[in-house]
């Protein structure tokens, strides 16, 4: 197996890096220099027709993209420690929380990034008013998450899971673009400290 584009600072490659660190796995890696648009070159488009990183090359020569799907595949090969749950209920609850964090928190943060940030202005047509409107969605999502986390340690329950990796990379990316967890969301702040204290956080 070989992992392409794991070296990039965006949230999705980092999801895979943290997952690998939590599993204690190392994979052969190949850099994909995004600044040189290597992810849009034909050699890379053969690996992922969407031109996105990361991509995992499997031992049979086929390619897998989408960071969560890559981690799900690696979980199948290396089930311990489980990060996607074991029982059908655990697996479904973790899946639900991955989706909730992506839809409620990551999406509005991505809209702010794409539609208001100077670094993306030259890459797409920005709809600034729409982008700005997402700040209220992010705040509402953090306040909702704060009530959810009031009586548990981790996003999907009492055990650390892939849902924490999704939320952690989202929160850190949000902070990078100036959208932080509200000061008074004590449960979210405590959770963020908890996951940031794990050795995998430096991945």
How many Å separate Cα 153 from the centre of its chain?
A: 19
Our finding on whether 81 is near a second copy (CB under 8 A) is no
Out of 66, 139, 153, 172, the only residue in the binding site for a second copy (CB under 8 A) is 66
Out of 80, 87, 122, 202, the only residue in the binding site for a second copy (CB under 8 A) is 87
Q: Please identify, using beta-carbon distances, which residue of 130 and 175 lies nearer to a second copy.
A: 130
Terminal Cα distance for the chain, rounded: 20
Q: Please identify, using beta-carbon distances, which residue of 77 and 190 lies nearer to a second copy.
A: 77
Q: Please identify, using beta-carbon distances, which residue of 48 and 189 lies nearer to a second copy.
A: 48
Out of 7, 139, 148, 153, the only residue in the binding site for a second copy (CB under 8 A) is 148
Our finding on whether 150 is near a second copy (CB under 8 A) is no
Our finding on whether 99 is near a second copy (CB under 8 A) is yes
Our finding on whether 88 is near a second copy (CB under 8 A) is yes
Out of 8, 65, 168, 170, the only residue in the binding site for a second copy (CB under 8 A) is 65
Our finding on whether 50 is near a second copy (CB under 8 A) is yes
Q: In the complex, what is the shortest distance from the CB of residue 68 to a second copy, in angstroms, rounded to a whole number?
A: 7
The CA distance from 36 to 174, in Å, is 25
Query: Which residues 106-135 are close enough to bind a second copy by CB under 8 A?
Result: 107, 115, 125, 127, 129-130, 133
Angle subtended at Cα 51 by Cα 47 and Cα 54, rounded to the nearest 5 degrees: 70
User: What is the total count of residues that contact a second copy (CB under 8 A)?
Assistant: 37
SS (H, E, C) the chain: CEEECCCCCCHHHHHHHHHHHHHCCCCEEECCCHHHCHHHCHHHHCCCCCCCCCEEECCCCCEEECHHHHHHHHHHHCCCCCCCCCCHHHHHHHHHHHHHHHHHHHHHHHHHHHHHCHHHCCCCCCCHHHHHHHHHHHHHHHHHHHHHHHHCCECCECCCCHHHHHHHHHHHHHHHCCCCCCCCCHHHHHHHHHHHCCHHHHC
Residues forming contacts to a second copy in the complex (CB under 8 A) are 49-50, 58, 60, 62, 64-66, 68-70, 72-73, 75-77, 87-89, 91-93, 95-96, 99-100, 104, 107, 115, 125, 127, 129-130, 133, 144, 147-148
């Amino acid at each position: 197996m070989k992992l392409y584009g794991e070296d990039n600072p965006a949230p999705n490659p980092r999801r895979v890096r943290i997952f690998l660190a939590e599993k204690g796995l190392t994979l052969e890696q190949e850099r994909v220099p995004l600044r040189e648009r290597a992810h849009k070159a034909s050699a890379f488009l053969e690996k992922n027709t969407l031109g996105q990183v990361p991509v995992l090359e499997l031992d049979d020569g086929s390619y897998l993209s989408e960071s969560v799907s890559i981690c799900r595949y690696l979980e199948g090969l290396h089930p311990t420690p489980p990060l996607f749950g074991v029982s059908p209920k655990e697996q479904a609850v973790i899946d639900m929380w991955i989706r909730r964090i992506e839809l409620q928190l990551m999406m509005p943060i991505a809209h702010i990034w794409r539609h208001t940030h100077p670094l993306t202005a030259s890459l797409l047509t920005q709809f600034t008013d729409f982008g700005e409107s997402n700040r209220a969605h992010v705040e509402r999502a953090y306040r909702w998450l704060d009530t959810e986390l009031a009586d548990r340690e981790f996003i999907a329950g009492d055990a650390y899971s892939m849902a924490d990796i999704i939320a952690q990379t989202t929160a850190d990316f949000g902070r990078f673009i100036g959208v932080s967890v509200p000061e008074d969301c004590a449960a979210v702040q405590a959770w963020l400290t908890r996951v940031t204290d794990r050795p995998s956080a430096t991945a």
